[in-house]
């Protein structure tokens, strides 16, 4: 990574300021009230990225107060950007390792930050575990993704209403048509609102917050209103399905849970809605719960739900609802018994019949052609498992392939060709590489030959030298010739875009990736510049005509793809 050269004067002055502050800093608080309040703050704002057992989106925080003084830690929590820009050694090293920047939490106030640090100070560094010696790889995919020489021409589209005072200001997570034959299309904000797009304007259609008192959309990332899916016969039956997160309540038991010795921080719920008048532009009707599931942390929940848009009435897949369920951060927190098991729900893709009733709770059906429908040692709902955070589903209209993006941990992002009954490896695998769950899980190693075929490998993969957190896309169906037959996807954090030839997607092989640029008015740009934010939170949507719509949660803006041209 090339670094910009900053003024030596700025570095020297900043270093002197830190030296002075280190000589005049208070110690960490140790009173029980501060520690208790700090734990609450940590669980509300920090647990999505950090733990005390393993590296996650950010570093393992056990023992952090043994390494840094309170003044530095307070400064970093309040405004990490300032330390990075001043070339503070530790801040820069963290940025370069994790390839993303923590948001500042200065808005919490000095008192809350001191309490947070008091809690962190109680979490001492764990003793190193004895692990198997491995030849770990520092750069698992050294070859960089080549550029296609093409730029997508964008035009500004919708600026969605702000649902937060701070970035991300509008957490638009999905933009999609009702189904392939419908002219109606919708967008959903993780903060609790679903919009219908009418005459290029977002009109509120359904507000989750009006129906669920315990709806939980903080601390952000994937928490909130996860996804939506219209039944293929919505115009006749008025059925719509959603997923959303709720706070834990002792009085509400989940359908999928685990031993009380393991933390329960959040529940996700799948709901069926029945619109009384399907043609109405605002929801009016009833709803019922299909199932709910406990999660260890507030990350890797249950965002994507979808029906196969290619299935016809005579097909067995018609009306079957696919549900992506993340591992809930269980692997990073060393509760690996919740993953890699066909008798567990976490880290899987469910396939259910929402109109049936042969499930354990009687609220939905288990299709008889599911791979484990007759296996008493497995969950009949499972279609596939072994995922960390299966984030987006799409079907290739040419051959019916089901593709799922899986957001990676510290090394690899992947797209998987989903086959019934297959195990995709997490947390024993990240991409085509091995992972030792007893280590800090930020390293991968090359598999021995005998290990290669034990799990289904991804068909597309790239490492974090490119970008973090894959953003799932679509096989292009629009009118731009150069994009036809291409699977378009991207990176959530940095807003990069990529494509592969959909014909190259096959089990057992990795398709070649090419990078795409973007432009507006023929002038090359990027989503960091457009959003004014280093974390763009890119999402890829599609309109009823199969044209791509790109949106950034950082600023709540969206753009239509209207053309493509060659760049120098």
pLDDT per residue as tens digits for the range 288-298: 999 999 999 98
User: Which of 77, 101, 120 is the last residue in one of the domains?
Assistant: 120
**CB pairs under 8 A, 24+ apart, for 19-23?**
21/71, 21/72, 21/75, 22/69, 22/71, 22/72
Residues 75 and 222 in one domain: no
510 and 377 assigned to the same domain: yes
Q: What is the pLDDT of residues 152-209, one digit of tens each?
A: 999 999 999 999 998 899 999 999 999 988 999 999 999 999 999 999 999 999 999 9
Same domain flag for 62 and 177: no
Same domain, 186 and 69: no
Q: Which of 90-94, 105-109, 129-133, 388-392 has the lowest mean pLDDT?
A: 129-133
In terms of Cα–Cα distance, which of 345, 342, 346, 335 is closest to 441? 335
Print the domain residue range for 157: 147-246+281-566
For residue 102, what is the domain's CATH number? 1.10.760.10
Within-domain flag for 346: yes
Q: Report whether 300 contacts 372 (CB < 8 A).
A: no
- Are 177 and 110 part of one and the same domain? no
Together in a domain, 188 and 98? no
In terms of domains, do 224 and 354 share one? yes
Q: Quote the pLDDT of residue 138.
A: 87
Same-domain status, 509 and 408 = yes
Q: Is residue 45 helix, strand or coil?
A: helix
- Whether 256 maps to a domain, the answer reads no
User: What are the pLDDT digits (tens) for 364-375?
Assistant: 999 999 999 999
Q: Does residue 276 form part of some domain?
A: no
3-class SS at 226? strand
Q: Which CATH number does the domain housing residue 211 bear?
A: 2.120.10.30
Task: Render pLDDT for 426-443 as a digit per residue (tens, 0 to 9).
Answer: 999 999 999 988 777 888
What pLDDT band is residue 91 in, cutting at 50, 70 and 90? confident
Q: Would strands 305-307 and 321-325 be described as parallel, antiparallel, or unpaired?
A: antiparallel
User: What are the distances in angstroms from CA 543 to CA 90, 503, 540?
Assistant: 44, 23, 10
Q: Is the dihedral of CA 439, 441, 442, 443 positive or negative?
A: positive
Distance CA 404, CA 387 (A): 10
Across 478-489, average pLDDT: 96
The C-alpha atoms of residue 510 and residue 516 are separated, in whole angstroms, by 19
Q: Do residue 424 and residue 527 come from a single domain?
A: yes
> Structural domain tally of the chain?
2
Same domain, 89 and 213: no
């Amino acid at each position: 990574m090339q670094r910009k050269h900053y003024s030596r004067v700025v570095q020297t002055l900043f270093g002197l300021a830190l030296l002075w502050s280190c000589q005049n800093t208070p110690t960490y608080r140790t009173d029980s009230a501060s520690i208790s309040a700090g734990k609450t703050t940590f669980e509300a704002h920090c647990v999505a990225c950090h733990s005390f057992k393993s590296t996650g989106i950010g570093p393992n925080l056990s023992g952090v107060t043994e390494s840094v003084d309170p003044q530095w830690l307070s400064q970093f929590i309040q405004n990490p950007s300032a330390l990075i820009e001043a070339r503070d050694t530790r801040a820069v090293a963290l940025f370069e390792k994790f390839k993303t920047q923590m948001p500042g939490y200065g808005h919490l106030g000095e008192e809350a930050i001191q309490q947070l640090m008091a809690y962190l100070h109680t979490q001492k560094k764990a003793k190193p575990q004895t692990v198997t010696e491995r030849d770990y790889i520092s750069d698992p995919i050294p070859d960089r993704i080549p550029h296609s020489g093409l730029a997508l021409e964008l035009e500004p589209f919708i600026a969605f209403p702000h649902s937060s005072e701070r970035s991300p200001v509008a957490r638009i997570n999905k933009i999609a048509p009702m189904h392939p034959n419908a002219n109606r299309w919708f967008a959903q904000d993780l903060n609790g609102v679903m919009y219908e797009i009418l005459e290029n304007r977002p009109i509120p259609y359904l507000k989750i917050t009006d129906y669920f008192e315990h709806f939980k959309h903080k601390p952000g990332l994937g928490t909130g209103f996860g996804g939506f899916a219209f039944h293929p016969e919505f115009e006749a039956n008025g059925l719509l399905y959603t997923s959303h997160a709720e706070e834990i309540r002792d009085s509400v038991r989940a359908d999928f849970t685990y031993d009380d010795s393991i933390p329960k921080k959040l529940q996700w719920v799948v709901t069926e809605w029945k619109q009384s008048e399907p043609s109405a532009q605002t929801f009016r009707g009833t709803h019922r719960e299909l199932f709910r599931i406990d999660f260890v942390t507030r990350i890797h929940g249950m965002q994507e739900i979808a029906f196969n848009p290619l299935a016809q009435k005579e097909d067995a897949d018609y009306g079957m609802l696919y549900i992506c369920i993340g591992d809930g951060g269980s692997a990073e927190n060393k509760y690996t018994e919740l993953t890699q098991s066909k008798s567990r729900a976490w880290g899987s893709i469910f396939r259910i019949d929402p109109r049936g009733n042969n499930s354990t709770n009687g609220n939905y059906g288990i299709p008889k052609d599911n791979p484990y429908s007759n296996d008493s040692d497995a969950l009949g709902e499972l279609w596939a498992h072994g995922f960390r955070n299966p984030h987006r589903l799409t079907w290739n209209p040419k051959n019916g392939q089901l593709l799922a993006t899986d957001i990676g941990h510290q090394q690899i992002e992947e797209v998987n060709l989903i086959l019934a009954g297959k195990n995709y490896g997490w947390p024993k695998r990240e991409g085509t590489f091995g992972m030792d769950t007893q280590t800090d899980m930020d390293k991968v190693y090359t598999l021995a030959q005998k290990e290669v075929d034990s799990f289904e490998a991804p068909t597309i993969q790239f490492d974090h030298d490119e970008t973090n957190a894959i953003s799932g896309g679509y096989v292009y169906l629009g009118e731009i010739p150069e994009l036809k037959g291409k699977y378009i996807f991207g990176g959530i954090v940095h807003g990069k875009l990529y494509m592969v030839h959909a014909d190259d997607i096959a089990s057992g092989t990795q398709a070649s990736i090419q990078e795409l640029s973007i432009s507006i008015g023929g002038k090359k740009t990027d989503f960091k510049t457009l959003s004014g934010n280093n974390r763009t939170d890119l999402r890829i949507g599609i309109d009823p005509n199969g044209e791509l719509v790109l949106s950034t949660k950082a600023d709540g803006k969206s753009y239509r793809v209207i053309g493509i041209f060659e760049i120098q």
